[in-house]
Structures are given as C-alpha cells and as structure tokens.
Homo-oligomer: A and B are copies of this chain.
Amino acid sequence: MKKIVIIGGCAAGPKVAAKCRRMNKENEIHLYTNEKIVSYSACGLPYYIEGIVPKIENLIIRTPEEFRDAGINVHLDHTCTKIIPDEKAVIINNEKVRYDELVLCTGARAKDVKIEGGHLKNVYKLRTIQDGIAIKEKMKTAKTAVIIGGGYIGIEILEALIANNIKVTMLEAGEQILSNFDNDIAKIIQNYIHKKDGDKVEIREKTKVDKIVGKDEFVGIITDSGEVIEADFCIVATGVMPNTEIASEAGIETGRSGAIRVDNRMQTNIEHIWAAGDCCEKHCLITKIPMYISLGSIANKEGRVCAINVSGGDEKFEGVLCSFVTRYFDFTISTTGLTEQHALEYSKFINIEPISATVKKHDRAGYMPNTNEITLKLVADKRTGEVLGAQAVGKGDADKRINIATSALKSKMTVDELINLDLTYAPSFGTPIDPLLEAAYKLKKIIDTKRHS
C-alpha cells in the first residue's frame, strides 16, 4: 500500500487520480487543489462565456463526490507551498503531509501581467472557472472590450464576445495573430474575421500596450505609440507560464522552457516525484528538442502514462507534435508539426531544409450542398521529403486533414508516401483526391524541380 499525493485539480491531476485508482485498489490517493472545484474542462470556458454551454456545471467532468465515491480523497481549497523531498513530505495549508509518491500537476497560469494597471477592476484573464464566471457577468452590462493578445485563447474569447454583441479591439504585440501558424495562413484567418465581423472587430498587430489606465476601474489602454483605446473591460490573453515555483525551490529540475523536466515515464529528477500536464516540459517528436506547449489533450495523455508508472507499471510518453485546433465560429483553424517559419528557425539546429506548398480546395465534392473551401499548407524537408508539418484553415473540414498529417508525422512519412494514401471518399465527405494529397503532390513536384535544378 502506497500513499499517492497529487497536487493540482484541473486536467492532469484528476486523470492521474482516477487512473491510479483503477490501477490499484489498495493505494491511498489524495488529490489537492487550491481551487474550489476539481476536474473541469478549462477548454470549454470560452463556450460557457459565449452561451453555447449553458451552465458552468456542464464543464465539470467529475465532482468531488464522484471522486470520493471512487475512494479518492479530494481536498479543495488546499494550497501546497513547499515540497520536502528528503522527508517525502509536502506542506499543504501549513500542515505537513507525507507521501510515498508525489505527482505535480500544478498546471499553468496566465503569464504575470507586467503592464502597469494590470491590477485594475474589469481587467480579466481566462484560466479558471472563476475567471470565466467573472467575464460572463461583466459582459452582460458591457458594450466594448479590449483583448490583449492574439493567440488562440484571444481568438476563442473574441468569438464569445462577438456572439454577445460586444465590440472588440484586439491588440497583438507581434507581427501576426496566432503565432503557431505561418504568417500567410494567419492572414487568411484574420481576413475571415474581418470579412465576417469587420464592423465589430478591429485587430491590430505590432501594437504593444504601454499601460492600462483607470482610477480603480479599467477605462482603457495606451499603446506604445501613445494612442488611447477606451472600452468597458479588458481581457489579458498573452499566453501562459507553467506553475513551477514550489518544484524549483525543492530542487526539481526545470528545462530551458521553464517547465518541469520529466523523462518519458513522467518522472522528475527526484525519486518518487512525478509530474504531468501543463507544468511539464514537452519533447517534440520532430525536432527532438525540449519545448513548451499547454494543451488539455496532452495533459490527459501524460496523466494516464504517469499514473501507470506511479502505480508500478511501465508506460512511456514519447512526445508531442503540437497538433492544435480551434475555431472562429464556422471557420476551423488547425495545425500539426512545424510551421514553415518554425522549421526555418529550427533548421539552424537540426538538419532540415524546409519547403512548402499550399492548396485551396473544396473539402467535399463541389456539387454537394455542404461544400466549403479549405486552405492547406504542407511543409516538408527538401532533402528527404519527410513531412514536417501541416496547417489547414477554412469553413470546410480542415481538421480531418490535419489529423491525417499528424499520423503521417508520427510515422515520419514522406511526401511520396502520402500522395497515394488510400483515404476514404464519398461526395458528402471529401474529394476523390483529398486536398492533403493534392498538397503532397504539389510539394513533391516542387521538391523534384529543386533537386534537378
């Protein structure tokens, strides 16, 4: 019988707890969270704000009672402040709690806002259930908002606000929104947002926020060029950072990314201390270089692998491909692997020569009523033809093609092998030669031409 202590209650923590329970009926399992609820879908918060998900309770995956019924001790409102590896103990709400195995699922938080005025009332971030409730409440009486940050959380909040008739100014410090896409693809997304909702949304790239202004309450922001933008409220969505302070203080190694370093069994450098989810560094299967990404799908998989190993099994989590999907209303935004831009940056460190091809195609037979276009960009290594990444966006079924590419990436498939892949076809579902295969063929021709020239 072992005592397993898990710190963190959103995605990975509850997954570890539930899986540890299924693996072994004897072990004593304790799940501690500093929140007032446990096991919820943070990814669903934008849709709660939008109103598609009617009640916040809908986002709760398992209640504390369900965990307790399964024999898992859930401790809400309990904050872990210190890990003492030598004593195999943690300090939680000022009390010492001993463990046999400790699992850190401390997650990530919105990046510390260093903008002056970030503390003002009506300045929000979106990470927890409480954040979601607060934004939804504020939205009811507001007409205008500023979103700081054009990443995917920014885009998801944008949909929620636009659907509720809020006029939005989105400010992006970088060259483009959605930095996990190439600039040409990000532009297509942005054009769609403008085409659909140009009267309600203004997106400004290369615009840094100098300060947030207001007396007690938010009044507006001042850009680095001195311009003032007023609004009823503000959401800061400038990305997340892993919660690793208590880990670092205890001598648990973190990587260059700042996240906790784990091996492929989710073990940290200290014996009997494990980690999973958004607090962990990831291993990129393409570059083999450690990196950081925060996604619920990865947290769940890491949690499962971690639980098996904590329970005495032997399972490996090989790494990630940074596969990602979101939407702006009916417009799908999806990617896997490296963008061309990222591949070019990595080509300084690893032996690749990135090259790309883009196609714009129907997602289904052109004569079917539910047909829409997608734009698909495929990136490969010119030398080997190996697929390096794919991006697909549009009102059509883009995500399907990206997941095929994900599987191809995992197997190190070449463009040549991809071209004749026997994908399903029927008029309601695709085209005789799928857009992904069209892109592969186009890319192969480019590669062949460059090889011969």
Chain A interface (Cβ within 8 Å of chain B)? 11, 41, 43-44, 47, 52-53, 58-59, 285, 295-301, 304-305, 317-327, 332, 334, 336, 365, 367-369, 397, 399-400, 402-404, 406-408, 410-411, 413, 417, 420-430, 432-434, 437, 441
In this complex, what residue of B is CB-closest to A45?
B427
- CB-CB under 8 A from A369, the residues of chain B are 52
Q: Are A320 and B422 in contact (CB under 8 A)?
A: yes
Q: Are A295 and B425 in contact (CB under 8 A)?
A: yes
Q: Are B406 and A47 in contact (CB under 8 A)?
A: no
Q: Are A297 and B422 in contact (CB under 8 A)?
A: yes
Shortest distance in angstroms between A242's beta carbon and chain B's nearest beta carbon? 18
Q: Are A433 and B43 in contact (CB under 8 A)?
A: no
In this complex, what residue of B is CB-closest to A48?
B367
B325, B336, B400, B417: the one contacting A403 at CB < 8 Å is: B400
Q: Are A11 and B421 in contact (CB under 8 A)?
A: no
Q: Are B44 and A336 in contact (CB under 8 A)?
A: no
A346 to B206 CA separation, bound complex (whole angstroms): 61
A298 to B437 CA separation, bound complex (whole angstroms): 12
Shortest distance in angstroms between A20's beta carbon and chain B's nearest beta carbon? 16
A367 to B53 CA separation, bound complex (whole angstroms): 6
A302 to B196 CA separation, bound complex (whole angstroms): 40
B47, B300, B403: the one contacting A404 at CB < 8 Å is: B403
Q: Are A368 and B53 in contact (CB under 8 A)?
A: yes
B58, B399, B407, B426: the one contacting A408 at CB < 8 Å is: B407
The 7 closest A-B pairs by CB, nearest first: A411-B411, A297-B425, A407-B407, A325-B424, A58-B367, A300-B432, A321-B422
A73 to B141 CA separation, bound complex (whole angstroms): 68
- CB-CB under 8 A from A317, the residues of chain B are 420
Shortest distance in angstroms between A13's beta carbon and chain B's nearest beta carbon? 14
B43, B367, B424, B437: the one contacting A324 at CB < 8 Å is: B424
Q: Are B365 and A43 in contact (CB under 8 A)?
A: yes
- CB-CB under 8 A from A43, the residues of chain B are 365, 425-427, 432
In this complex, what residue of B is CB-closest to A44?
B427
A294 to B393 CA separation, bound complex (whole angstroms): 32
- CB-CB under 8 A from A417, the residues of chain B are 410-411
Shortest distance in angstroms between A150's beta carbon and chain B's nearest beta carbon? 17
A296 to B434 CA separation, bound complex (whole angstroms): 12
Q: Are A325 and B41 in contact (CB under 8 A)?
A: no
B285, B332, B433: the one contacting A297 at CB < 8 Å is: B433
Q: Are B422 and A406 in contact (CB under 8 A)?
A: yes
- CB-CB under 8 A from A434, the residues of chain B are 297
- CB-CB under 8 A from A52, the residues of chain B are 368-369
Given A325-B425, A427-B43, A433-B300, answer yes or no on A408-B411 (Cβ-Cβ < 8 Å).
yes
Q: Are B327 and A426 in contact (CB under 8 A)?
A: yes
Q: Are B41 and A367 in contact (CB under 8 A)?
A: yes
Q: Are B59 and A432 in contact (CB under 8 A)?
A: no
- CB-CB under 8 A from A319, the residues of chain B are 422
